[in-house]
Amino acid sequence: MKSVISKRLGVIASLSALLSIGCGGDEKKSGPKSGDECDLAAPECIEGEVCEELVDGTARCFAPVWLRGKVVDSVTLDPIEGAVVQAMDANEAPQGSAARTDENGAYELTIAATRDEEGTPAEGKVTLRAQAMGYELFPTPIRPALPVDAALAVEHGDDGYLLESTATEIRLLPLEGDTQSLGSISGAVLGDTPAGVLVVAEGAATPLSGMSDGDGEYVIFNVPQGSYTVSGYAAGVELVPQSISLTAGEEKADVDLEVADKALSTVSGKVEIVNAPGGSVTSVVLVLESTFAETTARGIVPPGLRAAGVTGTFSIEGVPDGRYVVLAAFENDGLVRDPDETIGGTQIVRIAVQGADVPIAEGFKVTGALAVVSPGAEEPEQVSGIGLTFRFADDSSEDGYLVKLFDAFGEKLWETELPGVSGSDTVDVAYDGPALEQGMFYQFRAWSWRDKKGAQTFISATEDLRGVFYL
């Protein structure tokens, strides 16, 4: 099987080439015409058209919706050639094949959209994922991808509908240090459900990853020379890992992952929500342990390894073998893991899954979060860096606060402590640390604490994914 490197290293295909891809992934010389009914389970439309669902649940053939954008260096704003861009749906599954950027950093790819009776895009939100040699993967927990709405696409002649905006420009952070000797690993996930698998190369100090696209193909950039175990993780699929060695600058291709004949597992437990007037429903995720950063308590969640709408007990099915960190209230829901580790149910939980169900005996304690006011209350916020102040809601029962600042690589840059606040709904903390970099993303986190017998005991914190900003 051809690898993603051999198939996509050239410049991006022209729009006409993109539009020649039929719904089933093969070129179609004939089939249902525009407006004709089609079958989503076995789509087949005339060349240049796609089978899409209507708001009433039926399906017809229409001209496609395609997305155009650029990938640039976040510091210099120079275009990045050869970046891989994928459109991800609401379930974090890739839509169709990946696109490669050209010498101008430009890319084009088609995305799915629910249509109205006239074929106009009515619904369909995607997020974008991008990676390139010499740059940090996007998105990351500190740099979330914002939704792009297919309903905003405009008619573009006979070619279909075009979606192009500031939201389709992706800014990648350059990696620190010498990147000239870094290589890549590429291949394909095999089997009946190859799309949307997190592929991880473990062996370096920091594991590296990629995501398989709609054809099952993946690429992992920025891999130092050394020996690696390449594994795939997603709900409902168990894959056979591959052991490989990589020389300096080598582009290792055809590292394919086959389906393993092994049973999948279920991870279950319970969540106890306490002292949380602002939230009553949360989620639980399984983070791949090798990607977990202790300083920020974050990591990569393989697609599907998440339980939503949790109010008490939870269950995550179809879990492949591996080592995971179980995190409750990781997402923005007004809740946070109770930081008081002097009581049960608040410690970081690590589990090993090896072909058997894993019940977690002790429940997770979750409490109300300290609301972030600025910067980054809802999404990453641009700031000037002059007179930078971190503002968050006051915890009325605190004796003091701890505030930390992290960069996009998870490195702690600064921290400060301050006494408790009275007579105010918010807490303001002036930043007086090292100078911040243009184009870099940052996150501040705050923890409230109470004095218990002369020791600091943390009682709440700002949420894991808020407080993000950039210069």
Q: Which pLDDT value is given to residue 15?
A: 32
Tell me, yes or no, whether 392 lies in a domain.
yes
- As given in the structure block, the two tokens for residue 307 are 């339980």
- Say yes or no: 284 and 360 in one domain: yes
- As given in the structure block, the two tokens for residue 422 are 């009275």
- Say yes or no: 166 and 187 in one domain: no
Tell me how far apart the terminal alpha carbons of the chain are, to the nearest angstrom: 44
- As given in the structure block, the two tokens for residue 20 are 């020649």
| CB of 44 closer than 8 Å to CB of 25 | no
For 68-91, write each residue's pLDDT tens digit: 999 999 989 999 999 999 998 877
Tell me, yes or no, whether 231 lies in a domain.
yes
Share of the chain above pLDDT 70, in %: 92
Would you mind telling me the total number of residues written for the chain in this entry? 471
12-15 long-range contacts (CB < 8 A, ≥24 apart) are 12/99, 12/100, 12/101, 12/102, 12/106, 12/107, 12/108, 13/99, 13/108, 15/66, 15/108, 15/159
Tell me, yes or no, whether 364 lies in a domain.
yes
Q: In whole numbers, what is the pLDDT of the chain averaged over residues?
A: 87
Buried b (16+ CB within 10 A) or exposed e, 182-219: bbbbbbbbbbeebbbbbbbbbbeeebbbbbbbbbbbbb
pLDDT at 22 > cutoff 60: no
The overall longest dimension of the chain from CA atoms, in Å, is 79
Phi, psi of 17, rounded to the nearest 5 degrees: -70, -40
Tell me, yes or no, whether 79 lies in a domain.
yes
Q: Which pLDDT value is given to residue 47?
A: 86
Whole-structure pTM value: 0.78
Name which residue leads in pLDDT, 344 or 402. 402
- Say yes or no: 59 and 13 in one domain: yes
- Say yes or no: 143 and 198 in one domain: no
- Say yes or no: 380 and 348 in one domain: no
Tell me, yes or no, whether 58 lies in a domain.
yes
For 356-381, write each residue's pLDDT tens digit: 999 998 888 888 899 999 999 988 89
- As given in the structure block, the two tokens for residue 218 are 């993946």
CA distance 131 to 129: 7
| CB of 199 closer than 8 Å to CB of 266 | no
- Say yes or no: 130 and 277 in one domain: no
- Say yes or no: 12 and 146 in one domain: yes
Q: What is the CATH number of the domain that holds 57?
A: 2.60.40.10
Confidence label for 14 from pLDDT (cuts 50, 70 and 90)? very low
Final residue belonging to a domain, choices 310, 344, 368:
368
Pick the closest to residue 410 from 449, 435, 445 (CA basis).
Answer: 445
Final residue belonging to a domain, choices 342, 368, 394:
368
Q: What is the CATH number of the domain that holds 362?
A: 2.60.40.1120
Residue type, 166: T
- Say yes or no: 351 and 420 in one domain: no
Q: Which pLDDT value is given to residue 33?
A: 64
Tell me, yes or no, whether 258 lies in a domain.
no
Tell me, yes or no, whether 178 lies in a domain.
no
| CB of 15 closer than 8 Å to CB of 21 | no
What residue has token string 């939230």? 279
What residue has token string 């729009």? 15
Strand-pair partners of 106: 70
Confidence label for 11 from pLDDT (cuts 50, 70 and 90)? very low
Q: What is the CATH number of the domain that holds 384?
A: 2.60.40.4070
Confidence label for 157 from pLDDT (cuts 50, 70 and 90)? confident
For 259-280, write each residue's pLDDT tens digit: 999 999 999 999 988 876 666 8
Q: Which pLDDT value is given to residue 18?
A: 33
- Say yes or no: 291 and 434 in one domain: no
Number of domains observed in the structure of the chain: 4
Report cis status (omega within 30 of 0) of the bond before 121.
no
- As given in the structure block, the two tokens for residue 18 are 């993109």
Supply the DSSP symbol for 159.
Answer: G
Final residue belonging to a domain, choices 313, 335, 368:
368
- Say yes or no: 302 and 398 in one domain: no
Confidence label for 30 from pLDDT (cuts 50, 70 and 90)? low
Domain extent for 298: 265-368
- Say yes or no: 143 and 290 in one domain: no
Tell me, yes or no, whether 260 lies in a domain.
no
For 102-128, write each residue's pLDDT tens digit: 999 999 999 999 999 999 999 998 999
- Say yes or no: 202 and 58 in one domain: no
Phi, psi of 348, rounded to the nearest 5 degrees: -65, 130
